[in-house]
Structure 1
Protein backbone atom coordinates (compact mmCIF):
# COMPACT_ATOMS: atom_id res chain seq x y z
CA UNK A 1 0.00 0.00 0.00
CA UNK A 2 1.54 3.36 -1.02
CA UNK A 3 2.10 6.06 1.57
CA UNK A 4 0.29 9.34 1.08
CA UNK A 5 2.61 12.15 -0.04
CA UNK A 6 3.57 14.63 2.70
CA UNK A 7 2.74 17.61 0.45
CA UNK A 8 -0.79 16.47 -0.35
CA UNK A 9 -2.68 17.84 2.66
CA UNK A 10 -1.36 21.40 2.30
CA UNK A 11 -1.87 21.33 -1.47
CA UNK A 12 -5.47 20.08 -1.16
CA UNK A 13 -6.37 22.65 1.49
CA UNK A 14 -5.15 25.53 -0.65
CA UNK A 15 -6.69 24.33 -3.92
CA UNK A 16 -10.08 24.00 -2.22
CA UNK A 17 -10.08 27.75 -1.64
CA UNK A 18 -10.22 28.40 -5.40
CA UNK A 19 -13.64 29.03 -6.94
CA UNK A 20 -12.43 27.21 -10.05
CA UNK A 21 -9.26 25.10 -9.55
CA UNK A 22 -7.52 25.76 -12.87
CA UNK A 23 -3.84 25.17 -13.57
CA UNK A 24 -1.35 25.70 -16.37
CA UNK A 25 -0.32 22.45 -18.03
CA UNK A 26 2.98 22.27 -19.93
CA UNK A 27 3.85 19.53 -22.42
CA UNK A 28 6.23 19.02 -25.33
CA UNK A 29 5.48 17.08 -28.51
CA UNK A 30 7.69 16.02 -31.39
CA UNK A 31 6.79 15.72 -35.06
CA UNK A 32 9.11 15.56 -38.04
CA UNK A 33 12.13 16.06 -35.80
CA UNK A 34 10.75 19.32 -34.42
CA UNK A 35 9.96 19.67 -30.72
CA UNK A 36 7.06 21.99 -29.91
CA UNK A 37 6.10 23.18 -26.44
CA UNK A 38 2.48 23.67 -25.37
CA UNK A 39 0.84 25.35 -22.39
CA UNK A 40 -2.86 24.89 -21.69
CA UNK A 41 -5.26 25.91 -18.93
CA UNK A 42 -7.03 22.89 -17.43
CA UNK A 43 -9.33 22.18 -14.51
CA UNK A 44 -8.16 20.03 -11.61
CA UNK A 45 -10.74 17.27 -11.06
CA UNK A 46 -9.39 16.01 -7.75
CA UNK A 47 -7.19 13.02 -6.93
CA UNK A 48 -7.98 9.73 -8.64
CA UNK A 49 -10.21 7.63 -6.39
CA UNK A 50 -11.25 10.71 -4.40
CA UNK A 51 -13.82 12.31 -6.70
CA UNK A 52 -15.32 15.43 -5.07
CA UNK A 53 -18.99 15.11 -4.13
CA UNK A 54 -21.46 16.73 -6.52
CA UNK A 55 -25.12 16.92 -5.56
CA UNK A 56 -26.11 17.08 -9.22
CA UNK A 57 -24.26 13.88 -10.15
CA UNK A 58 -26.45 10.77 -9.71
CA UNK A 59 -23.38 8.53 -10.14
CA UNK A 60 -21.11 8.44 -7.11
CA UNK A 61 -17.44 7.53 -7.33
CA UNK A 62 -15.61 4.95 -5.25
CA UNK A 63 -15.74 5.56 -1.51
CA UNK A 64 -12.87 5.10 0.94
CA UNK A 65 -9.96 5.17 -1.52
CA UNK A 66 -7.11 7.64 -1.95
CA UNK A 67 -4.11 8.29 -4.18
CA UNK A 68 -1.61 10.99 -5.13
CA UNK A 69 -2.67 10.94 -8.80
CA UNK A 70 -3.85 14.35 -10.05
CA UNK A 71 -6.73 14.09 -12.52
CA UNK A 72 -8.16 16.11 -15.37
CA UNK A 73 -10.40 15.09 -18.28
CA UNK A 74 -9.96 15.34 -22.03
CA UNK A 75 -11.50 14.48 -25.36
CA UNK A 76 -9.56 11.74 -27.16
CA UNK A 77 -10.01 13.64 -30.44
CA UNK A 78 -8.11 16.70 -29.20
CA UNK A 79 -4.56 17.73 -30.00
CA UNK A 80 -3.72 17.43 -26.32
CA UNK A 81 -4.40 13.70 -26.47
CA UNK A 82 -1.99 13.32 -29.38
CA UNK A 83 0.63 15.52 -27.70
CA UNK A 84 0.63 13.11 -24.77
CA UNK A 85 1.42 10.24 -27.13
CA UNK A 86 -2.14 9.05 -27.66
CA UNK A 87 -2.69 6.43 -30.33
CA UNK A 88 -6.10 5.52 -31.69
CA UNK A 89 -6.90 1.84 -31.28
CA UNK A 90 -9.35 -0.23 -33.30
CA UNK A 91 -11.87 0.36 -30.54
CA UNK A 92 -11.96 3.12 -27.94
CA UNK A 93 -11.89 0.55 -25.16
CA UNK A 94 -8.53 -0.86 -26.30
CA UNK A 95 -6.45 2.32 -26.22
CA UNK A 96 -3.00 1.70 -24.74
CA UNK A 97 -1.60 3.69 -21.87
CA UNK A 98 0.12 6.87 -23.05
CA UNK A 99 2.74 8.68 -21.06
CA UNK A 100 4.73 11.88 -21.18
CA UNK A 101 6.75 14.17 -18.96
CA UNK A 102 4.60 17.14 -17.95
CA UNK A 103 4.44 20.01 -15.48
CA UNK A 104 1.36 21.48 -13.82
CA UNK A 105 1.45 24.93 -12.21
CA UNK A 106 -1.21 26.09 -9.72
CA UNK A 107 -1.52 29.67 -8.45
CA UNK A 108 -3.41 30.45 -5.22
CA UNK A 109 -3.72 34.24 -4.79
CA UNK A 110 -3.69 35.95 -1.42
CA UNK A 111 -7.03 37.21 -0.12
CA UNK A 112 -5.64 40.66 0.45
CA UNK A 113 -3.48 41.01 -2.66
CA UNK A 114 -3.96 38.83 -5.78
CA UNK A 115 -0.43 39.73 -6.92
CA UNK A 116 0.96 37.82 -3.94
CA UNK A 117 0.14 34.23 -3.17
CA UNK A 118 1.30 30.66 -3.33
CA UNK A 119 2.50 28.62 -6.27
CA UNK A 120 2.60 24.84 -6.69
CA UNK A 121 4.64 23.35 -9.55
CA UNK A 122 4.16 19.63 -10.01
CA UNK A 123 6.25 17.59 -12.44
CA UNK A 124 5.52 14.02 -13.31
CA UNK A 125 4.39 11.40 -15.77
CA UNK A 126 1.02 11.81 -17.47
CA UNK A 127 -1.21 8.86 -18.39
CA UNK A 128 -4.41 8.91 -20.45
CA UNK A 129 -6.51 6.06 -19.08
CA UNK A 130 -8.38 3.69 -21.38
CA UNK A 131 -12.15 3.93 -21.21
CA UNK A 132 -12.59 0.28 -20.25
CA UNK A 133 -10.05 -1.19 -17.84
CA UNK A 134 -11.69 -4.62 -17.77
CA UNK A 135 -11.05 -5.73 -21.37
CA UNK A 136 -8.70 -8.62 -22.13
CA UNK A 137 -5.85 -6.52 -23.47
CA UNK A 138 -2.23 -6.65 -22.28
CA UNK A 139 -1.62 -2.89 -22.29
CA UNK A 140 -4.94 -2.19 -20.58
CA UNK A 141 -4.20 -4.88 -18.00
CA UNK A 142 -0.85 -3.27 -17.23
CA UNK A 143 -2.56 0.10 -16.81
CA UNK A 144 -5.05 -1.39 -14.36
CA UNK A 145 -2.27 -3.08 -12.39
CA UNK A 146 -0.36 0.20 -12.26
CA UNK A 147 -3.42 2.01 -10.87
CA UNK A 148 -4.14 -0.69 -8.28
CA UNK A 149 -0.60 -0.30 -6.94
CA UNK A 150 -1.09 3.46 -6.51
CA UNK A 151 -4.46 3.33 -4.80
CA UNK A 152 -4.85 2.75 -1.08
CA UNK A 153 -7.93 2.03 0.97
CA UNK A 154 -8.87 3.63 4.25
CA UNK A 155 -8.32 1.18 7.06
CA UNK A 156 -5.71 -0.74 5.02
CA UNK A 157 -5.63 -2.40 1.63
CA UNK A 158 -4.95 -1.51 -1.98
CA UNK A 159 -7.09 -0.84 -5.03
CA UNK A 160 -7.78 -4.48 -5.88
CA UNK A 161 -11.54 -4.04 -5.36
CA UNK A 162 -11.69 -0.58 -6.96
CA UNK A 163 -14.55 -0.17 -9.48
CA UNK A 164 -12.90 1.48 -12.50
CA UNK A 165 -16.06 1.59 -14.62
CA UNK A 166 -17.90 3.37 -11.82
CA UNK A 167 -15.09 5.91 -11.49
CA UNK A 168 -15.15 6.63 -15.23
CA UNK A 169 -18.91 7.24 -15.25
CA UNK A 170 -18.76 9.36 -12.08
CA UNK A 171 -16.07 11.61 -13.57
CA UNK A 172 -18.25 12.17 -16.63
CA UNK A 173 -21.24 12.95 -14.40
CA UNK A 174 -19.23 15.47 -12.39
CA UNK A 175 -18.81 17.70 -15.44
CA UNK A 176 -21.33 20.41 -16.20
CA UNK A 177 -24.13 19.50 -18.67
CA UNK A 178 -22.64 21.89 -21.27
CA UNK A 179 -19.18 20.33 -21.00
CA UNK A 180 -20.63 16.80 -21.21
CA UNK A 181 -22.42 17.84 -24.39
CA UNK A 182 -19.19 19.10 -25.95
CA UNK A 183 -17.91 15.52 -26.19
CA UNK A 184 -20.48 14.75 -28.90
CA UNK A 185 -19.76 17.89 -30.92
CA UNK A 186 -17.92 17.87 -34.29
CA UNK A 187 -14.18 17.20 -34.31
CA UNK A 188 -12.40 19.79 -32.10
CA UNK A 189 -10.02 22.04 -34.04
CA UNK A 190 -11.24 21.04 -37.52
CA UNK A 191 -12.00 23.89 -39.95
CA UNK A 192 -15.75 24.44 -40.22
CA UNK A 193 -15.41 24.61 -44.00
CA UNK A 194 -14.80 20.83 -43.98
CA UNK A 195 -18.26 20.19 -42.57
CA UNK A 196 -19.26 18.59 -39.31
CA UNK A 197 -18.26 15.00 -40.06
CA UNK A 198 -21.77 13.82 -39.34
CA UNK A 199 -21.75 15.23 -35.81
CA UNK A 200 -23.85 18.35 -35.37
CA UNK A 201 -23.56 20.50 -32.24
CA UNK A 202 -26.06 19.21 -29.73
CA UNK A 203 -27.64 20.45 -26.53
CA UNK A 204 -26.12 19.88 -23.08
CA UNK A 205 -26.29 16.40 -21.58
CA UNK A 206 -28.47 16.48 -18.47
CA UNK A 207 -27.87 14.66 -15.21
CA UNK A 208 -30.40 12.02 -16.28
CA UNK A 209 -28.67 11.39 -19.65
CA UNK A 210 -25.30 10.04 -18.58
CA UNK A 211 -25.43 7.05 -20.94
CA UNK A 212 -24.96 9.14 -24.09
CA UNK A 213 -22.67 6.78 -26.01
CA UNK A 214 -21.14 9.21 -28.53
CA UNK A 215 -19.97 11.53 -25.73
CA UNK A 216 -18.75 8.66 -23.56
CA UNK A 217 -16.74 7.20 -26.44
CA UNK A 218 -14.72 10.43 -26.68
CA UNK A 219 -14.40 11.13 -22.96
CA UNK A 220 -11.16 10.21 -21.15
CA UNK A 221 -9.74 10.57 -17.66
CA UNK A 222 -6.10 11.62 -17.48
CA UNK A 223 -3.83 11.31 -14.45
CA UNK A 224 -0.50 12.84 -13.47
CA UNK A 225 1.82 10.83 -11.24
CA UNK A 226 3.87 13.49 -9.39
CA UNK A 227 7.63 12.92 -9.18
CA UNK A 228 8.70 16.42 -8.08
CA UNK A 229 6.65 19.02 -6.21
CA UNK A 230 7.72 22.59 -5.59
CA UNK A 231 5.88 24.97 -3.24
CA UNK A 232 6.62 28.71 -3.24
CA UNK A 233 4.96 30.90 -0.59
CA UNK A 234 5.47 34.54 -1.55
CA UNK A 235 3.72 35.72 1.61
CA UNK A 236 5.94 33.71 3.93
CA UNK A 237 8.93 33.97 1.58
CA UNK A 238 9.61 30.26 1.80
CA UNK A 239 10.18 27.54 -0.79
CA UNK A 240 10.00 23.78 -0.37
CA UNK A 241 10.83 20.97 -2.76
CA UNK A 242 9.67 17.37 -2.49
CA UNK A 243 11.31 14.70 -4.65
CA UNK A 244 10.81 10.94 -4.60
CA UNK A 245 13.61 9.13 -2.81
CA UNK A 246 15.99 7.53 -5.33
CA UNK A 247 14.47 9.43 -8.26
CA UNK A 248 16.28 11.15 -11.10
CA UNK A 249 15.08 14.50 -9.71
CA UNK A 250 16.75 13.79 -6.37
CA UNK A 251 20.02 12.83 -8.08
CA UNK A 252 20.03 15.58 -10.70
CA UNK A 253 19.46 18.28 -8.09
CA UNK A 254 21.97 16.64 -5.69
CA UNK A 255 19.49 16.54 -2.81
CA UNK A 256 20.33 13.06 -1.45
CA UNK A 257 21.93 14.39 1.74
CA UNK A 258 19.55 17.23 2.55
CA UNK A 259 16.20 17.72 4.23
CA UNK A 260 14.12 14.94 5.73
CA UNK A 261 12.53 11.77 4.39
CA UNK A 262 8.89 10.87 4.93
CA UNK A 263 7.65 7.73 3.24
CA UNK A 264 8.72 7.79 -0.41
CA UNK A 265 9.48 11.52 -0.43
CA UNK A 266 12.40 13.77 0.51
CA UNK A 267 11.47 17.29 1.67
CA UNK A 268 14.06 20.06 1.34
CA UNK A 269 13.72 23.74 2.26
CA UNK A 270 15.50 25.93 -0.30
CA UNK A 271 16.04 29.64 -0.83
CA UNK A 272 13.15 31.22 -2.79
Structure 2
Protein backbone atom coordinates (compact mmCIF):
# COMPACT_ATOMS: atom_id res chain seq x y z
CA UNK A 1 0.00 0.00 0.00
CA UNK A 2 1.19 3.50 -0.79
CA UNK A 3 2.36 5.38 2.28
CA UNK A 4 2.28 9.06 3.23
CA UNK A 5 5.53 10.84 2.60
CA UNK A 6 7.10 14.07 3.89
CA UNK A 7 7.83 15.73 0.52
CA UNK A 8 4.60 15.35 -1.44
CA UNK A 9 2.60 18.17 0.15
CA UNK A 10 5.32 20.78 -0.43
CA UNK A 11 5.94 19.50 -3.97
CA UNK A 12 2.22 19.71 -4.81
CA UNK A 13 1.95 23.23 -3.39
CA UNK A 14 4.84 24.44 -5.55
CA UNK A 15 3.74 22.73 -8.78
CA UNK A 16 0.19 24.04 -8.45
CA UNK A 17 1.54 27.60 -8.72
CA UNK A 18 2.63 26.88 -12.31
CA UNK A 19 0.26 28.00 -15.05
CA UNK A 20 1.44 25.03 -17.12
CA UNK A 21 3.10 22.35 -14.97
CA UNK A 22 5.88 20.84 -17.07
CA UNK A 23 9.14 19.11 -16.26
CA UNK A 24 12.38 18.13 -17.96
CA UNK A 25 12.48 14.37 -18.45
CA UNK A 26 15.91 12.77 -18.80
CA UNK A 27 16.62 9.26 -20.07
CA UNK A 28 19.92 7.53 -20.78
CA UNK A 29 19.71 4.63 -23.20
CA UNK A 30 22.10 1.72 -22.86
CA UNK A 31 24.84 1.58 -25.50
CA UNK A 32 24.20 -0.59 -28.53
CA UNK A 33 26.89 -2.92 -29.84
CA UNK A 34 29.70 -0.69 -31.03
CA UNK A 35 27.85 2.45 -29.95
CA UNK A 36 27.65 4.77 -26.97
CA UNK A 37 24.93 5.64 -24.50
CA UNK A 38 22.84 8.55 -25.74
CA UNK A 39 21.21 10.91 -23.22
CA UNK A 40 17.88 12.48 -24.11
CA UNK A 41 16.04 15.32 -22.37
CA UNK A 42 12.43 16.24 -23.15
CA UNK A 43 9.84 18.63 -21.76
CA UNK A 44 6.71 16.81 -20.65
CA UNK A 45 3.43 17.86 -19.10
CA UNK A 46 2.89 16.72 -15.50
CA UNK A 47 -0.43 14.84 -15.34
CA UNK A 48 -0.55 14.72 -11.57
CA UNK A 49 0.05 11.70 -9.38
CA UNK A 50 -1.41 8.49 -10.75
CA UNK A 51 -4.88 7.88 -9.27
CA UNK A 52 -5.13 11.63 -8.55
CA UNK A 53 -5.92 13.02 -12.01
CA UNK A 54 -6.56 16.78 -11.68
CA UNK A 55 -10.12 17.94 -12.32
CA UNK A 56 -10.75 19.28 -15.81
CA UNK A 57 -14.19 20.75 -16.50
CA UNK A 58 -13.73 20.04 -20.23
CA UNK A 59 -13.11 16.33 -19.64
CA UNK A 60 -16.36 14.37 -20.15
CA UNK A 61 -14.85 11.25 -18.56
CA UNK A 62 -14.75 11.14 -14.79
CA UNK A 63 -11.66 9.68 -13.12
CA UNK A 64 -11.39 7.55 -10.01
CA UNK A 65 -11.89 9.48 -6.80
CA UNK A 66 -10.76 8.84 -3.24
CA UNK A 67 -7.40 7.29 -4.16
CA UNK A 68 -3.78 8.44 -4.04
CA UNK A 69 -0.26 7.32 -4.90
CA UNK A 70 3.30 8.65 -5.10
CA UNK A 71 3.63 7.79 -8.81
CA UNK A 72 4.40 10.74 -11.12
CA UNK A 73 2.14 10.44 -14.19
CA UNK A 74 2.56 11.59 -17.78
CA UNK A 75 1.19 10.48 -21.14
CA UNK A 76 2.99 9.37 -24.28
CA UNK A 77 2.63 7.82 -27.72
CA UNK A 78 3.94 4.25 -27.73
CA UNK A 79 5.36 4.80 -31.24
CA UNK A 80 7.80 7.48 -30.07
CA UNK A 81 11.55 7.34 -29.51
CA UNK A 82 10.81 8.03 -25.84
CA UNK A 83 9.06 4.66 -25.56
CA UNK A 84 12.05 2.95 -27.17
CA UNK A 85 14.43 4.79 -24.83
CA UNK A 86 12.50 3.29 -21.91
CA UNK A 87 13.18 -0.21 -23.22
CA UNK A 88 10.22 -0.54 -25.58
CA UNK A 89 8.41 -2.65 -22.99
CA UNK A 90 5.04 -2.01 -21.39
CA UNK A 91 4.54 -2.70 -17.70
CA UNK A 92 6.80 -3.59 -14.81
CA UNK A 93 8.50 -6.27 -16.89
CA UNK A 94 10.75 -3.42 -18.00
CA UNK A 95 12.45 -3.63 -14.61
CA UNK A 96 13.97 -6.97 -15.60
CA UNK A 97 15.84 -5.53 -18.58
CA UNK A 98 19.62 -5.81 -18.10
CA UNK A 99 20.05 -2.09 -18.87
CA UNK A 100 19.51 1.31 -17.28
CA UNK A 101 16.77 2.22 -19.74
CA UNK A 102 13.92 2.73 -17.31
CA UNK A 103 15.88 4.75 -14.73
CA UNK A 104 14.89 8.37 -15.37
CA UNK A 105 14.96 11.80 -13.75
CA UNK A 106 12.28 14.49 -13.77
CA UNK A 107 13.24 18.08 -13.01
CA UNK A 108 10.64 20.71 -12.07
CA UNK A 109 11.51 24.42 -11.94
CA UNK A 110 9.26 26.79 -9.98
CA UNK A 111 10.35 30.43 -10.46
CA UNK A 112 10.00 33.03 -7.73
CA UNK A 113 7.22 35.60 -8.13
CA UNK A 114 9.64 38.38 -7.19
CA UNK A 115 12.60 37.24 -9.29
CA UNK A 116 12.16 34.56 -11.99
CA UNK A 117 15.94 34.08 -12.09
CA UNK A 118 15.72 32.29 -8.74
CA UNK A 119 13.20 29.85 -7.40
CA UNK A 120 12.75 26.24 -6.39
CA UNK A 121 13.90 23.08 -8.10
CA UNK A 122 12.57 19.55 -7.60
CA UNK A 123 14.54 16.62 -9.03
CA UNK A 124 12.78 13.25 -8.90
CA UNK A 125 14.73 10.15 -9.88
CA UNK A 126 13.13 6.76 -10.22
CA UNK A 127 11.99 3.83 -12.30
CA UNK A 128 9.66 4.62 -15.19
CA UNK A 129 7.00 2.27 -16.55
CA UNK A 130 4.73 2.67 -19.58
CA UNK A 131 1.46 1.08 -18.50
CA UNK A 132 -0.37 -1.39 -20.75
CA UNK A 133 -3.56 -0.03 -22.27
CA UNK A 134 -5.75 -2.83 -20.88
CA UNK A 135 -4.89 -3.87 -17.33
CA UNK A 136 -7.74 -6.36 -17.05
CA UNK A 137 -6.39 -9.08 -19.33
CA UNK A 138 -5.03 -12.45 -18.23
CA UNK A 139 -1.58 -11.81 -19.72
CA UNK A 140 1.06 -12.67 -17.13
CA UNK A 141 3.00 -9.42 -17.54
CA UNK A 142 -0.16 -7.32 -17.41
CA UNK A 143 -1.35 -9.08 -14.26
CA UNK A 144 2.05 -8.43 -12.66
CA UNK A 145 1.78 -4.74 -13.54
CA UNK A 146 -1.75 -4.49 -12.14
CA UNK A 147 -0.65 -6.17 -8.91
CA UNK A 148 2.26 -3.72 -8.62
CA UNK A 149 -0.05 -0.74 -9.16
CA UNK A 150 -2.55 -1.95 -6.57
CA UNK A 151 0.27 -2.06 -4.02
CA UNK A 152 1.29 1.52 -4.92
CA UNK A 153 -2.24 2.95 -4.69
CA UNK A 154 -4.05 3.59 -1.43
CA UNK A 155 -7.57 4.67 -0.65
CA UNK A 156 -8.11 7.85 1.31
CA UNK A 157 -9.19 6.86 4.78
CA UNK A 158 -7.55 3.43 4.58
CA UNK A 159 -7.35 0.53 2.17
CA UNK A 160 -5.48 -0.31 -1.00
CA UNK A 161 -6.19 0.01 -4.71
CA UNK A 162 -7.83 -3.39 -5.15
CA UNK A 163 -11.11 -1.82 -6.35
CA UNK A 164 -9.43 0.84 -8.52
CA UNK A 165 -10.92 1.07 -12.04
CA UNK A 166 -7.88 1.04 -14.35
CA UNK A 167 -9.89 1.19 -17.59
CA UNK A 168 -11.68 4.28 -16.33
CA UNK A 169 -8.37 5.92 -15.42
CA UNK A 170 -6.92 5.27 -18.88
CA UNK A 171 -9.93 6.84 -20.59
CA UNK A 172 -9.96 9.80 -18.17
CA UNK A 173 -6.30 10.56 -18.94
CA UNK A 174 -7.09 10.57 -22.67
CA UNK A 175 -10.10 12.83 -22.09
CA UNK A 176 -7.99 15.21 -20.04
CA UNK A 177 -5.90 16.11 -23.10
CA UNK A 178 -6.79 18.94 -25.47
CA UNK A 179 -8.66 17.97 -28.69
CA UNK A 180 -5.56 18.82 -30.77
CA UNK A 181 -3.29 16.63 -28.64
CA UNK A 182 -5.80 13.77 -28.74
CA UNK A 183 -5.81 14.02 -32.53
CA UNK A 184 -2.02 13.81 -32.70
CA UNK A 185 -2.19 10.18 -31.57
CA UNK A 186 -3.71 9.16 -34.93
CA UNK A 187 -1.22 11.16 -37.00
CA UNK A 188 1.79 9.65 -38.83
CA UNK A 189 4.70 8.23 -36.85
CA UNK A 190 6.15 11.00 -34.62
CA UNK A 191 9.64 12.14 -35.55
CA UNK A 192 9.76 10.74 -39.08
CA UNK A 193 10.70 13.06 -41.98
CA UNK A 194 7.67 14.43 -43.81
CA UNK A 195 9.41 13.82 -47.13
CA UNK A 196 8.92 10.08 -46.55
CA UNK A 197 5.16 10.45 -46.69
CA UNK A 198 2.44 9.91 -44.14
CA UNK A 199 2.56 6.12 -44.02
CA UNK A 200 -1.13 5.95 -44.83
CA UNK A 201 -2.02 8.01 -41.76
CA UNK A 202 -2.83 11.43 -43.16
CA UNK A 203 -3.01 14.12 -40.44
CA UNK A 204 -6.55 14.41 -39.20
CA UNK A 205 -8.59 17.01 -37.39
CA UNK A 206 -8.66 17.29 -33.56
CA UNK A 207 -10.59 14.69 -31.59
CA UNK A 208 -13.50 16.37 -29.82
CA UNK A 209 -14.96 15.50 -26.44
CA UNK A 210 -17.66 13.43 -28.17
CA UNK A 211 -15.11 11.24 -29.99
CA UNK A 212 -13.18 9.65 -27.15
CA UNK A 213 -13.56 6.14 -28.57
CA UNK A 214 -11.36 6.85 -31.62
CA UNK A 215 -9.69 3.45 -32.05
CA UNK A 216 -6.45 4.45 -33.80
CA UNK A 217 -5.61 7.21 -31.31
CA UNK A 218 -6.37 5.00 -28.31
CA UNK A 219 -4.19 2.20 -29.70
CA UNK A 220 -1.18 4.55 -29.62
CA UNK A 221 -1.98 6.46 -26.42
CA UNK A 222 -0.36 5.34 -23.16
CA UNK A 223 -0.09 6.52 -19.56
CA UNK A 224 3.35 6.25 -17.95
CA UNK A 225 4.42 6.53 -14.32
CA UNK A 226 7.64 7.25 -12.44
CA UNK A 227 8.18 5.47 -9.14
CA UNK A 228 10.34 7.92 -7.11
CA UNK A 229 13.52 6.46 -5.60
CA UNK A 230 15.23 9.78 -4.78
CA UNK A 231 13.80 13.27 -4.29
CA UNK A 232 15.94 16.40 -4.15
CA UNK A 233 14.59 19.87 -3.33
CA UNK A 234 16.67 23.01 -3.83
CA UNK A 235 15.39 26.39 -2.61
CA UNK A 236 17.57 29.08 -4.15
CA UNK A 237 15.80 31.81 -2.19
CA UNK A 238 16.35 30.21 1.20
CA UNK A 239 19.64 28.58 0.15
CA UNK A 240 18.55 25.17 1.41
CA UNK A 241 18.78 21.74 -0.14
CA UNK A 242 17.07 18.56 1.04
CA UNK A 243 17.07 14.97 -0.19
CA UNK A 244 14.60 12.18 0.56
CA UNK A 245 15.35 8.52 -0.11
CA UNK A 246 13.31 5.41 0.76
CA UNK A 247 14.48 3.76 3.97
CA UNK A 248 16.35 0.58 3.11
CA UNK A 249 16.48 1.44 -0.59
CA UNK A 250 19.42 1.44 -2.97
CA UNK A 251 19.80 5.24 -2.89
CA UNK A 252 20.18 5.24 0.89
CA UNK A 253 22.91 2.63 0.68
CA UNK A 254 24.68 4.00 -2.40
CA UNK A 255 24.93 7.47 -0.86
CA UNK A 256 25.78 6.09 2.60
CA UNK A 257 22.91 7.92 4.26
CA UNK A 258 21.77 5.12 6.61
CA UNK A 259 22.74 6.95 9.79
CA UNK A 260 22.13 10.52 8.68
CA UNK A 261 19.19 12.90 8.81
CA UNK A 262 15.85 11.76 10.15
CA UNK A 263 13.31 9.10 9.25
CA UNK A 264 9.76 10.18 8.48
CA UNK A 265 7.52 7.24 7.58
CA UNK A 266 9.11 5.26 4.78
CA UNK A 267 11.51 8.09 3.84
CA UNK A 268 14.85 9.36 5.14
CA UNK A 269 15.27 13.13 5.00
CA UNK A 270 18.79 14.58 4.83
CA UNK A 271 19.85 18.23 4.61
CA UNK A 272 22.56 18.90 2.00
CA UNK A 273 24.98 21.70 1.21
CA UNK A 274 23.80 23.87 -1.67
The two structures share one fold, judged by TM-score above 0.5: yes
| 8 Å Cα contact 2:2/2:70 also seen in 1 | no
* Aligned-pair CA distance for 1:96: 4.6
Tell me whether 241-250 or 27-36 shows the greater mean CA deviation.
Answer: 27-36
Cα distance between partner residues in 2 of 1:117 and 1:23: 14
Q: Deviations over 1:92-129 (max 9, x none)?
A: xxx55435100000000000100010000000000000
> What's the TM-score once normalised by structure 1's chain length?
0.95
Q: How many aligned residue pairs are there?
A: 265
Give the gaps of 5 or more residues in structure 2: 96-101
Q: Deviations over 1:134-173 (max 9, x none)?
A: 1110000000000000000011100000000000000000
Cα distance between partner residues in 1 of 2:91 and 2:137: 11
* Aligned-pair CA distance for 1:191: 1.7
Cα distance between partner residues in 2 of 1:139 and 1:34: 30
In structure 1, the partner of 2:117 is 115
Q: Note the aligned Cα RMSD (angstroms).
A: 1.0
Q: Match for 1:262 among 257, 264, 267?
A: 264
In structure 1, the partner of 2:5 is 5
In structure 2, the partner of 1:92 is none
Tell me whether 194-203 or 113-122 shows the greater mean CA deviation.
Answer: 194-203
Q: Match for 1:124 among 103, 123, 126?
A: 126
Cα distance between partner residues in 1 of 2:222 and 2:172: 12
In structure 1, the partner of 2:77 is 75
SS at match of 2:182: helix
Cα distance between partner residues in 1 of 2:54 and 2:2: 21
SS at match of 2:29: strand
Q: 1:261 to 1:96 in 2, by over 3 A?
A: closer
Q: Deviations over 1:188-221 (max 9, x none)?
A: 1112222111101011111111111100000000
Q: Match for 2:171 among 150, 169, 172?
A: 169
SS at match of 2:169: helix
Give matches, 1:45-64, under 5 Å: 45-64=47-66
* Aligned-pair CA distance for 1:269: 1.1
In structure 2, the partner of 1:36 is 38
* Aligned-pair CA distance for 1:2: 2.4
In structure 1, the partner of 2:24 is 24
* Aligned-pair CA distance for 1:259: 1.1
In structure 2, the partner of 1:66 is 68
> What's the TM-score once normalised by structure 2's chain length?
0.95
SS at match of 1:140: helix
Cα distance between partner residues in 2 of 1:193 and 1:238: 51
In structure 1, the partner of 2:160 is 158
